[in-house]
Amino acid sequence: MIYNISKKAIPVNRTPLSLYERTYIPSIAKGLAVTIKHIFQKKATVNFPEVERPFSSTFRGLHILNRDEEDRERCTACGLCALSCPAEAITMEAAERLPSEEHLYREEKYAASYEINMLRCIFCGLCEEACPKDAIYLTQTFAPANYTRESFIYKKEDLLIPKKSERKETVK
Ligand code: SF4
Ligand code: SF4
C-alpha cells in the first residue's frame, strides 16, 4: 500500500503513447521552443575571465597585510585574527623586533610567518574586525583558481602589500 502522507504526490500518467507521440516530435518541438526562448533572454552567465561581473561594494575577497605610513609592517602577531577566525584558517609565528629592525616593523613584536588557508576561509571578515592594528584587510580581489592545495596557502609574502617605492616601480 502507498501512503500519501503529505497529500502532494502527483499520480503518474500511464496512458499509452499515441503513434504521433511515439515519434517524439511534440517533445522535441517543446524542448526546442524552450531553447529558442532562452536565446533571446538576458544571459545569466558572463564570459569570465574576459568579462567580470561587478562586485557589490560590500564584497569581501583576498586579504592583504597592510603597512603604516613609514612602510613598516603593522601586524604585531597578537593572534586576535586567528582567535576570531571561525574556520581556523590563520596561523602565525611571532618574533621579537631587534633594535636594528625598527624601520621594518611598527611594534616590538612582529609576524615572522603568517599564513591564511584560503580553502578554509569563508571570507567572513571577522579577522579584519578583530585586528587592533589595522593590519589585515579584505580586498575586492578573489583568490584565483589553481590546481594544488598548497597554492591556496597564502603566506606573508603573498599577503603583505609592497612598499611605497616598489609600488611606484610597478606603476611605471
Ligand atoms: S575572513 Fe573569516 S574565515 Fe577568512 S581568515 Fe578571516 S576570519 Fe577566517
Ligand atoms: S593581523 Fe592584526 S589581529 Fe592578526 S596578528 Fe596581526 S595585528 Fe594581530
Domain ranges of the chain: 63-163
For ligand 1, residues with CB inside 6 Å are 84-87, 89-90, 116, 121-127
Q: Do strands 63-65 and 109-117 pair parallel, antiparallel, or not at all (unpaired)?
A: unpaired
Q: How far is the CA of 84 from the centre of ligand 2 (A)?
A: 10
Reported as half-sphere exposure (CB side, CA atoms, 13 A), residue 40 has a value of 5
Q: How far is the CA of 116 from the centre of ligand 1 (A)?
A: 8
Grid coordinates of 34: 524552450
Q: How far is CA 73 from the centre of its chain?
A: 24
Full-model pTM: 0.74
List C-alpha distances in Å: 37 to 17, 76, 81: 27, 58, 50
CA distance 40 to 5: 42
Q: What is the pLDDT along the chain (172 residues), one digit of tens a residue?
A: 667 778 888 888 899 989 988 999 999 999 999 999 999 999 888 998 899 888 898 999 999 999 999 999 999 999 999 999 999 999 999 999 999 999 999 999 999 999 999 999 999 999 999 999 999 999 998 878 889 999 999 999 999 999 988 876 544 3
Handedness of CA 147, 149, 154, 158 (dihedral sign): negative
Query: What pLDDT score was predicted for residue 171?
Result: 40
Q: How far is the CA of 85 from the centre of ligand 1 (A)?
A: 5
For ligand 2, residues with CB inside 6 Å are 75-81, 92, 111, 130-131, 133, 135-136
Query: What pLDDT score was predicted for residue 4?
Result: 75
Query: What pLDDT score was predicted for residue 2?
Result: 65
Which amino acid belongs to residue 79?
A: G
Given the CA of residue 78, which atom of ligand 2 is nearest to it?
Answer: 8
Reported as half-sphere exposure (CB side, CA atoms, 13 A), residue 65 has a value of 27
Query: What pLDDT score was predicted for residue 172?
Result: 36
How many CB atoms neighbour CB 12 within 10 A? 5
Q: How far is the CA of 86 from the centre of ligand 1 (A)?
A: 7
Q: Classify domain 63-163 by CATH number.
A: 3.30.70.3270
CA distance 137 to 85: 14
Helix, strand, coil shares of the chain, percent, nearest 5, are: 25, 15, 55
Which amino acid belongs to residue 118?
A: M
Given the CA of residue 130, which atom of ligand 1 is nearest to it?
Answer: 7
Query: What pLDDT score was predicted for residue 167?
Result: 74
Given the CA of residue 120, which atom of ligand 1 is nearest to it?
Answer: 3
Given the CA of residue 90, which atom of ligand 2 is nearest to it?
Answer: 4
CA distance 120 to 140: 18
Q: What is the DSSP letter of 48?
A: T
